[in-house]
Structure formats: C-alpha cells, structure tokens
Amino acid sequence: MNFDFSLVLVLVTALAGVLWLIDKLVFAPKRSQALSQAEATAGRALEGKERDALLQQPGWADTARSMFPVLFVVLILRSFLYEPFQIPSESMLPTLKVGDFIVVNKYHYGLRLPVLNTKIVSNNDPERGDVIVFRYPEDTSINYIKRVVGVPGDVITYKDKVLYVNGEPQQQELLAKLPPARPTKLLLNEQLDGKKHRIFRDVYRPVIDGTWEVPEGHYFVLGDNRDNSKDSRYWGFVPEALLVGKASAVWMHWEGFFSFPDFSEVRQIN
C-alpha cells in the first residue's frame, strides 16, 4: 500500500486545529472561571505558581496549540507552492539521477486542492519540453515524472527511436558513445521546439514504433532514458486532471542510506 503523505498531513493539521479550537472555546473559559472562583474564595488576586496552575493547558491542548501553526504553514506551502520529491528510478536519465531530490512548482499549472487534486485556480498549460510530475493514470496513488512531448492536438510518432511531432522529426545530436570502445548506449542532445535536452538511447534495445494523436485535455509524455522508461508509449496519455506540477530544480542528491547528501550543486531541470 502506498503512503499518502498529503492525506496524512491534512488529517493531522485538521486534528491539531480542532483540538486547539476545542480547548480555546470550551476548556479555556472553564479554567478562567476556576481562577475567578479561587480568587473570590481567597479574597485576593492569585499570582505566580497558584495562578499558572489553574490556567495551565493540558498536554494535548498545548501540543495542538504549538503544532497547528507549523502544520498549517507546511500544508499551504506543500499543497499550493512547492513540494519536494525524490527520483526513484532511471527513467529520466541523464536529466535526473536516482536519488535526486527535486522541487516541484505546484502553482505553475494552477492551484489544486490537496488530496482531491481538484483545480481551483487556472494558470499555465504544460508545454512541449516541460518535465512534469503527475499521478500515474493506472494507479493514481503513485507519482510519475516524465517530459511532455505532445500537447492537445499534436500527432506524435516514434519511429526508429526518433521522435516526430506533427510530422517533423526532432533533431538528435550525438554527444557520446558509452562506453567508447564497445558502446551499448548513446548520449544525445534532442531538440524539442528549439530547446535542447539530453536523452539516452540503448543500442540493442528493440524499437517501439507507433503514432498517437493527443486528445483535448491530455498530454503525451516520454522518459529521457528512452529505452528504459514506462511512459505514454505503453499506457497512453496523461489527463490534465492528474497533473501535480512542474519540476523546476534539483536541490540535493542522496542515493542511499550509507551515502552522504550532496548539496554542492543546484541544477535547473530542462
């Protein structure tokens, strides 16, 4: 079962807020009343430890009061502004490595409610070349990251490991053969709408050919590690309703438990 952190964060924030409100509206007045009664009985104003003891919040109320503002700020930031993700697979090599921590701009494609993912404010539409995070159409509890190569109305063809957009081949420039002596992988620059990004092609992997017309409200996505990516060629289009945000930068790399995080370079994702 996949852990839904957004749902847990919403529930914990709501619980802290409700507990804090209950204490403020129900129990805090009772504590003040008890103080007034004690002062009337004593015939004087209570101070110091006596007063503090009567007004002291119970542990659960004090925890809720302390945690609610922090949780609320985190919820707003994570739900509507920026959210961190870690890259779990090699499907976006060489652009993104396993262990990269990326920042996803949640408002670039419009504001959405947490958990429900319902859009409440519209903004930009995804463009060809954008690296996006979205909910996997075949299991929406899983987040995927791929590059948009087709927008609504486009006709996408993948033939002989070359990408065609509306009949136009997207130029590929060879950068390196890996390893140089007996290469099994090619590192290339691919141009998409005049913008360059790097991709990997496996020399001996079989070719997946096909043509797809992108319907309205959907997007066609590919991994940059073209022969090692489960993407729109296999499971179809990404509905607009499943968009999470635009990947904007790598802020840390931490591949395994026994390695050390690398903060030496913040890389823009393009």
Residues tagged active-site: 91, 146
**Distance of CA 31 to CAs 56, 60, 266, Å?**
8, 15, 52
83 — phi, psi (to 5°)?
-135, 135
Cis geometry, peptide bond prior to residue 126 (ω within 30 degrees of 0): no
Q: List, in sequence order, every beta strand (DSSP E) within 106-229.
A: 111-112, 119-121, 131-135, 143-150, 155-159, 162-165, 168-169, 172-178, 185-192, 195-202, 210-213, 218-222
**Distance of CA 109 to CAs 106, 112, 241, Å?**
7, 9, 11
Distance separating alpha carbons of residues 244 and 68, to the nearest angstrom: 25
Instruction: Please count the other Cβ atoms lying within 10 Å of the Cβ belonging to residue 184.
Output: 11
